[in-house]
Amino acid sequence: MPIEAVVASHDSTPAAAPLLKIGDLHGWYGESHVLHGMALEVHPGEVVTLLGRNGAGKSTTLKAIMGMLQRRHGSIQFEGHETIGLLSRAIARLGIGFVPENRGIYASLSVEENLLLPPQIRPGGMSLECIFTLFPNLKERINSQGTKLSGGEQQMLAIARILRTGARFLLLDEPTEGLAPVIVEQIGRMIAQLKQEGYTIVLVEQNFHFAATLADRHYVVEQGRVVDMIPNDALAANIDKLHGYLGV
């Protein structure tokens, strides 16, 4: 084969297929039209953030992926399969784990009960042993009731519960919100370790200094759609623009 043909065949090799591909997604709360043509892609092993002002539609995008918006249309493909018509439970069974902003742990149950309650939805759910290596604090608090945990411990428990299920694609909604810097750092290390282990993560973050230490790419969301995508290595060069988007 002539060298040109070899080069050409390499050039036309498609990049790895996206794990998640959202196209022209619209979503509503009742009559209120909130997502306006959301579109983004996440590749296997990536950490991608959604950045944007309050009310931009970041949390709604995660809820739409999980099938938790009553009315939505457009396309949400996971591993090449359309999920827009599926119910939340079926979407979770594909291995997508959602940690909502309110963390969704059972306040009246102990750490151990919270960890043992969610069913494994697919093989490969993280063992308690691995969870306690990742979150030593949880091991110390194993018999503590949910209500007695600090905000940071609650966040760790919420993430740990999802890891138990076997999900390998994680949607984390503002996991560092309201937490002390030392806990934020700990959560950052945990996310970096999950990335290293091949998990794919979509992270909604207000704190983009934190996001910058972890993410491969950043999507900027405004009024229910993506208005920009900034690779992490171009973040410094785009910092003024980003400040403009975020109004900080």
Residues 202, 62 contacting (CB under 8 angstroms): yes
Residues 6+ apart with CB under 8 A from 173: 58, 59, 62, 98, 99, 100, 101, 204
Least distance (Å) between residue 239 CB and Mg ion = 22
Task: Round to whole Å and give the CA distance between 22 and 25.
Answer: 7
Task: Round to whole Å and give the CA distance between 121 and 8.
Answer: 43
Closer residue to ligand ADP in complex, CB, 77/206: 206
Pick what 60 binds: ligand ADP, Mg ion, none; C-beta below 5 to 8 Å, kind-dependent.
ligand ADP
Closer residue to Mg ion in complex, CB, 134/172: 172
Least distance (Å) between residue 58 CB and Mg ion = 5
Pick what 146 binds: Mg ion, ligand ADP, none; C-beta below 5 to 8 Å, kind-dependent.
none
Least distance (Å) between residue 97 CB and ligand ADP = 18
Pick what 54 binds: Mg ion, ligand ADP, none; C-beta below 5 to 8 Å, kind-dependent.
ligand ADP
Least distance (Å) between residue 204 CB and Mg ion = 6
Task: Round to whole Å and give the CA distance between 245 and 248.
Answer: 8
Least distance (Å) between residue 172 CB and ligand ADP = 12
- Count, residues in the chain: 248
Q: Is 176 exposed, middle or buried (0-12, 13-18, 19+ CB in 10 A)?
A: buried
Task: Round to whole Å and give the CA distance between 152 and 113.
Answer: 18
Residues 58-97 that bind Mg ion (CB under 5 A): 58-59
The site map against Mg ion for 44-63 (x = CB under 5 A) is --------------xx----
- Using CB under 6 A, list all residues that contact ligand ADP: 29, 32, 34, 52, 54-60
Q: Which residue is nearest to Mg ion (CB)?
A: 59
Contact between 154 and Mg ion (CB under 5 A)? Answer: no
Residue closest to 103 by CA, chosen among 172, 5, 12:
172
Residues at the site binding Mg ion, with contacts judged by CB under 5 A: 58-59
